[in-house]
A and B are shown apart, each in its own frame.
Chain A
């Protein structure tokens, strides 16, 4: 009986000896390994005792054995070997160290830098005072909020896949912000320290560099969702009143314009976030013959939509409130554009809804302010 064999193409590099990294191929019998980690052991024990890799628990708890497999960060101990072989379909399986971390040897990378980031961001519990005599009582609903980020095992799979790390050396990394979130929503932590952590996340860790690609969620072996925790921390930053950051201005734009018109307005974003006049860009499109809508067309059903938003906001406190002064300016602008007939196409298309729309629209708005 012939045993199925798979080829592993493994990254090798010993900085003390090798001028530059190289790859070496090893044939591993598929039935000798349940996981990729087993396959690495097979190589070390039978083919090449010099191969270096890091491991400890072999059960996806310690976070030591994260490597890059065919370009994707994975825990070697949690990667079924057979599946990998099937997917490779006869091609070699490339195993490399995680991206963006200093190589120590072969598959082993230096973890000091990402651990250092946690220290810089001060992601720990500074207890709220007075410290109770026995223990802090934490309701189950609160635990639910940070159960997921607490599961992070600091394997740095997310760090090695991160699009922001790739282009911003200051960026702390997805895992770091999951940890920030975990402590910021913990009622045992004192308020000043929460504020400190959020400020650090922005100024030391560059949290606004996250591109929201969602790769960290994809690669996390523990189901942590760092990209979403990053959104949570950003929202808390807005709630704390850090209004000067472009990202907070962007969020305010989204909150206000979506409430006002049911849509964002991509042509007013440059002005509202960076104070940049969008006219030159608009002109470029006009020069090319494109029709440009200066404000989004009013949507039918907008009043019901506004009611829904207000209803939700009453029940669930959002991190950032609607700026109703801004909404009123948006309403005026929308009305100007449509009455001034700037955009004939929209006017034609929505003529029927228009009158009814504005009558109800102002009535509803005055009702809202009347009752507030």
Chain B
């Protein structure tokens, strides 16, 4: 069993606490022990930068240092948390003065940013560390006949210095979907269009225009649903898409939920039963 430190950010709160439980059991089934780093805090959501960038570097150097103190690498699910943490790592690793200044602040809490922890996003971790074959072997409920559009989200593609997939030709999700027995739909119109999540509270109108583009493009390309490794893209496509003035809503699935369902968990255990836009493919039990 491998062990990795998990950075949760603000993704698994409100109505979404179950999403972490799903992720944890899926990774356990795949031979990875997720150790929640409980002292880590919000990354600032790519918003605290507006107020002060040094503050963002400080709180995320602390987040990384908490993993390093335990001798663990850091696993992140949210694309934005991943980008903000990776930008911090990039800044501190390339600027010794900045690192020293921040380490003086962290010393108060007995922490030090060393730069030794690798920051993993779940998508490459699943593909490279867990392995497609392992995932294929554990499938108990092959998703035969499911046509699933792949949606990577922006912050693992851009900017270049932190990208974990090829920005212009991202890979990984398709292989995963095939391993689960489903059929991936790639390069549909809108597959690279932003989900709009981060503009919902700065300009709602634009968020509601953005959020429908990928789902509608996916549908036109013959997909029945989308899958994304990012919990924020997922929330946008589940909640904001529902608010948008389009008639056909296309369900979106958070990658660990899809894995859970294929690994044999039921609609509630996987979290698929809790979606605002129902996933018609599953047979939800009577309590729904």
Bitwise, B37-74 to A at CB < 8 A (1) or not (0) is 01111101111111111110011001000100000000
Residues of B within 8 A of A163 (CB): 193-194, 210
Q: How big is the A interface, by class? A: 35 or more
- CB-CB contacts below 8 Å: B249-283 with A: 268, 273-276
- The reply to whether B59 and A305 form a contact with Cβ atoms under 8 Å apart is yes
- The reply to whether A312 and B52 form a contact with Cβ atoms under 8 Å apart is yes
Shortest distance from the beta carbon of B235 to any chain A beta carbon, whole Å = 8
8 Å CB contact of A218 from B9, B51, B158: B158
Residues of A within 8 A of B59 (CB): 258, 305, 308-309
- CB-CB contacts below 8 Å: B65-88 with A: 66, 83
Question: Can you name 6 extra interface pairs (CB under 8 A) apart from A211-B199, A225-B159, A293-B14?
Answer: A251-B47, A263-B13, A294-B14, A301-B38, A301-B66, A305-B39
A337 contacts partner chain B, Cβ-Cβ < 8 Å: no
Chain A positions within 8 Å of B, measured between CB atoms, are: 70-72, 163-164, 166-168, 206, 208-215, 217-218, 225, 228, 231-232, 234-235, 238, 246-247, 249-251, 253-255, 258, 262-267, 269, 273-274, 281-282, 284-285, 288-294, 296-297, 299-302, 304-305, 307-309, 311-313, 315-320, 345
A308 CA / B274 CA spacing, docked (Å): 37
- The reply to whether A246 and B204 form a contact with Cβ atoms under 8 Å apart is yes
A36 CA / B39 CA spacing, docked (Å): 51
- CB-CB contacts below 8 Å: B208-251 with A: 209-210, 239
Shortest distance from the beta carbon of A253 to any chain B beta carbon, whole Å = 8
Shortest distance from the beta carbon of B103 to any chain A beta carbon, whole Å = 12
- The reply to whether B287 and A289 form a contact with Cβ atoms under 8 Å apart is yes
B196 contacts partner chain A, Cβ-Cβ < 8 Å: yes
- The reply to whether B158 and A305 form a contact with Cβ atoms under 8 Å apart is no
Among listed B105-113, B114-122, B133-141, interface-contacting one: B105-113
Q: Chain B: which residue is nearest A290 at the CB level? A: B274
B206 contacts partner chain A, Cβ-Cβ < 8 Å: yes
Q: Chain A: which residue is nearest B274 at the CB level? A: A290
Q: Chain B: which residue is nearest A284 at the CB level? A: B276
Given A218-B159, A228-B49, A292-B14; A308-B154 close (CB under 8 Å): no
8 contacts between A and B (CB under 8 A): A167-B209, A209-B203, A211-B210, A246-B202, A301-B66, A305-B41, A308-B62, A345-B17
Shortest distance from the beta carbon of B99 to any chain A beta carbon, whole Å = 15
Given A255-B48, A308-B108; A289-B202 close (CB under 8 Å): no
B171 contacts partner chain A, Cβ-Cβ < 8 Å: no
8 Å CB contact of A288 from B49, B55, B160, B275: B275
Cβ-closest 8 pairs across A and B: A301-B39, A262-B41, A285-B15, A318-B52, A247-B202, A214-B158, A235-B50, A250-B201
Residues of B within 8 A of A265 (CB): 13-14
- The reply to whether A296 and B55 form a contact with Cβ atoms under 8 Å apart is no
Shortest distance from the beta carbon of A74 to any chain B beta carbon, whole Å = 11
A61 CA / B275 CA spacing, docked (Å): 50
- The reply to whether B44 and A258 form a contact with Cβ atoms under 8 Å apart is yes
Shortest distance from the beta carbon of B265 to any chain A beta carbon, whole Å = 15
Q: Chain A: which residue is nearest B243 at the CB level? A: A281
8 Å CB contact of A274 from B40, B199, B204: B204
Shortest distance from the beta carbon of B194 to any chain A beta carbon, whole Å = 4
Residues of A within 8 A of B54 (CB): 312, 315-316
Residues of A within 8 A of B83 (CB): 214
A117 CA / B235 CA spacing, docked (Å): 34
Q: Chain B: which residue is nearest A287 at the CB level? A: B288
Shortest distance from the beta carbon of A171 to any chain B beta carbon, whole Å = 8
- The reply to whether A288 and B199 form a contact with Cβ atoms under 8 Å apart is no
- The reply to whether B288 and A288 form a contact with Cβ atoms under 8 Å apart is yes
B168 contacts partner chain A, Cβ-Cβ < 8 Å: yes
A305 CA / B66 CA spacing, docked (Å): 12
Shortest distance from the beta carbon of B84 to any chain A beta carbon, whole Å = 11
Residues of A within 8 A of B157 (CB): 218
8 Å CB contact of B159 from A211, A214, A231: A214
- The reply to whether B52 and A282 form a contact with Cβ atoms under 8 Å apart is no
- The reply to whether A263 and B158 form a contact with Cβ atoms under 8 Å apart is no
A209 CA / B47 CA spacing, docked (Å): 14
8 Å CB contact of B38 from A209, A225, A281, A299: A299
Residues of A within 8 A of B25 (CB): none
- The reply to whether A313 and B55 form a contact with Cβ atoms under 8 Å apart is yes
- The reply to whether B168 and A70 form a contact with Cβ atoms under 8 Å apart is yes
- The reply to whether B167 and A285 form a contact with Cβ atoms under 8 Å apart is no
A312 CA / B52 CA spacing, docked (Å): 9
B10 contacts partner chain A, Cβ-Cβ < 8 Å: yes
Shortest distance from the beta carbon of B118 to any chain A beta carbon, whole Å = 21
Given A290-B18, A316-B55; A300-B38 close (CB under 8 Å): yes
Residues of B within 8 A of A72 (CB): 168
8 Å CB contact of A299 from B15, B18, B41, B203: B41
Bitwise, B147-175 to A at CB < 8 A (1) or not (0) is 00000001101111000000110000000
8 Å CB contact of B155 from A70, A214, A317: A214
Bitwise, B179-199 to A at CB < 8 A (1) or not (0) is 000000000000011101011
A311 CA / B107 CA spacing, docked (Å): 12
A218 CA / B163 CA spacing, docked (Å): 10
Residues of A within 8 A of B206 (CB): 164, 167-168, 209, 211
8 Å CB contact of A291 from B18, B41, B42, B47: B18
- The reply to whether A231 and B50 form a contact with Cβ atoms under 8 Å apart is yes
Residues of A within 8 A of B46 (CB): 212, 231
Given A215-B158, A266-B10; A251-B42 close (CB under 8 Å): no
Residues of B within 8 A of A166 (CB): 193
Residues of A within 8 A of B268 (CB): 289
8 Å CB contact of B10 from A206, A218, A264, A300: A264
8 Å CB contact of A231 from B49, B155, B196, B287: B49
